[in-house]
Amino acid sequence: MGILGRFMVGVTKCMPRFFVASVARRYVAGKDLNSAVKVMKKLSSEGACFTIDVLGEEISNLQEAQFFVDEYDRVLDAIVANKLDANLSIKPTAFGLLIDSKAAYKNIERLLVNAAEHDIFVRLDMEDHRVTQSTIDIVLAMHEKGLKNVGTVLQARLFRTSDDIDSICEQLGADADFRICKGVYLEHESISRTGYQEIVDAMNLHIDQILDKGGYAGIASHDMPIINHTLDALSNRKMNPPHSDLEKCRNGKGPGYEFQMLLGVRGNIRRKLSKEGHRTRIYIPYGERWYEYSMRRLDENPDVAMHIVKSIFMPWTNRR
């Protein structure tokens, strides 16, 4: 699959921009906030909730950060005005983390304060290894300030993730909140697992680890071995629906866990999980930088191209 994926990346990059746009439309909600709102309203009928991401990352100057500060304010207003069951995902580098960490902290804190006024959660997306620790540090610093409406993403492919889970849970207790994923950034083998099965095995162990430590687990995966492992793990811990202990449900979240999937991927599986009583969340990216987002994701992980192949030639296997 890796070789075929890389081949598809090369083919995709040679295609006209309008063709890429026709494919990306399945996975990106649109160029503007209004388009994203329309998509969420439509999908709300399927019992899903959402996390909204304004496309863009690693800015070149702090002036660019102001765009994200302002746009996420608009997103918050839209969530409230349209009564959407949604939270936010942000890239710390889009707020200036690699340029001026103090400015980035200030920008992120401002957003968290605004979001907290409406009981809206903010997820700090995890980018490449350069900002792994600094992203975690932001979460811990904000909790120290009393802003508990923030959590981060951890990547199963990184060797350090198990220690990070232990450390964060030890410091934040029941307020520890994770999105655990395989990880799209292809890191060096000195710090990262590289094989599919070893990454899947690690992610399953991390899911168990988070559940056992009482943290909140957002299981972000479309892989059936991971989804099936999670269902077994929930059953073994008597956490499967129906959930009798409603006090464990946090505002806008499930009873200790939820399933998270990308827009346009494995919709049939997501709907099945929702009908079974599990909380399901859809990642909703939007913005003018849809093309850069699409190309960057393909460069970082060529196997993502296989979703494109399946959506074109075998659409019945990947219903939105």
CATH number at residue 281: 3.20.20.220
| C-alpha span between 214 and 176 (Å, rounded) | 8
Domain residue limits at 38: 29-286
Q: Which DSSP category does 30 fall into?
A: -
* Secondary structure element (H or E) that encloses residue 180, with its range: strand 177-181
Q: Which amino acid is at 292?
A: E
Least Cα distance to 175 among 228, 130, 121, 223 occurs for 121
| CA 39 to centroid of chain Cα atoms | 17
Q: Tell me, yes or no, whether 20 and 35 share the same domain.
A: no
State percent of the chain over pLDDT 90.
70
The pLDDT value given to residue 24? 60
The pLDDT value given to residue 246? 40
The pLDDT value given to residue 146? 97
Total-model pTM: 0.87
How many domains in the chain?
Answer: 2
pLDDT in tens, 260-293: 999 988 899 999 999 999 999 999 999 876 666 6
Least Cα distance to 220 among 255, 188, 263, 189 occurs for 263
Average pLDDT over the chain, rounded to an integer: 87
Residue 294 lies in a domain: no
The pLDDT value given to residue 248? 46
| C-alpha span between 216 and 177 (Å, rounded) | 5
The pLDDT value given to residue 98? 95
**In which band, very low, low, confident or very high, does the pLDDT at 124 lie, cut at 50, 70 and 90?**
very high
Neighbouring residues of 222: CB distance < 8 A, sequence distance ≥ 6? 261, 262, 265, 266, 269
Q: Tell me, yes or no, whether 143 and 212 share the same domain.
A: yes
Residue 129 lies in a domain: yes
pLDDT in tens, 214-231: 999 999 999 999 999 999
Q: Tell me, yes or no, whether 308 and 201 share the same domain.
A: no
The pLDDT value given to residue 298? 59
Residue 171 lies in a domain: yes
Are the CB atoms for 110 and 72 separated by under 8 Å?
no
Q: Tell me, yes or no, whether 153 and 34 share the same domain.
A: yes
Residue 163 lies in a domain: yes
Q: Tell me, yes or no, whether 164 and 233 share the same domain.
A: yes
Q: Tell me, yes or no, whether 8 and 139 share the same domain.
A: no
Residue 215 lies in a domain: yes
Residue 293 lies in a domain: no
Q: Tell me, yes or no, whether 58 and 1 share the same domain.
A: no
| C-alpha span between 24 and 182 (Å, rounded) | 22
* Secondary structure element (H or E) that encloses residue 155, with its range: strand 150-155
Q: Tell me, yes or no, whether 140 and 245 share the same domain.
A: yes
Q: Tell me, yes or no, whether 64 and 163 share the same domain.
A: yes
Q: Tell me, yes or no, whether 183 and 92 share the same domain.
A: yes
Least Cα distance to 142 among 184, 171, 167, 182 occurs for 171
Residue 10 lies in a domain: yes
Query: Is the peptide bond prior to 92 cis by the omega test (within 30 degrees of 0)?
Result: no
Buried b (16+ CB within 10 A) or exposed e, 234-271: beeeebbeebeeeeeeeebbbbbbbbbbbbbbbbebbb
Residue 193 lies in a domain: yes
Partners of 217 in beta bridges: 178, 257
Mean pLDDT computed over 114-132: 96
Checking if the pLDDT of 296 tops 70, the result is no
The pLDDT value given to residue 294? 60
Q: Tell me, yes or no, whether 5 and 108 share the same domain.
A: no
**In which band, very low, low, confident or very high, does the pLDDT at 33 lie, cut at 50, 70 and 90?**
very high
Are the CB atoms for 84 and 50 separated by under 8 Å?
yes
Work out the widest C-alpha separation in the chain, in whole angstroms: 54
Q: Tell me, yes or no, whether 148 and 265 share the same domain.
A: yes
Task: Average the pLDDT over each of 34-38, 66-70, 121-125, 265-269 and give the range with the smallest value.
Answer: 265-269
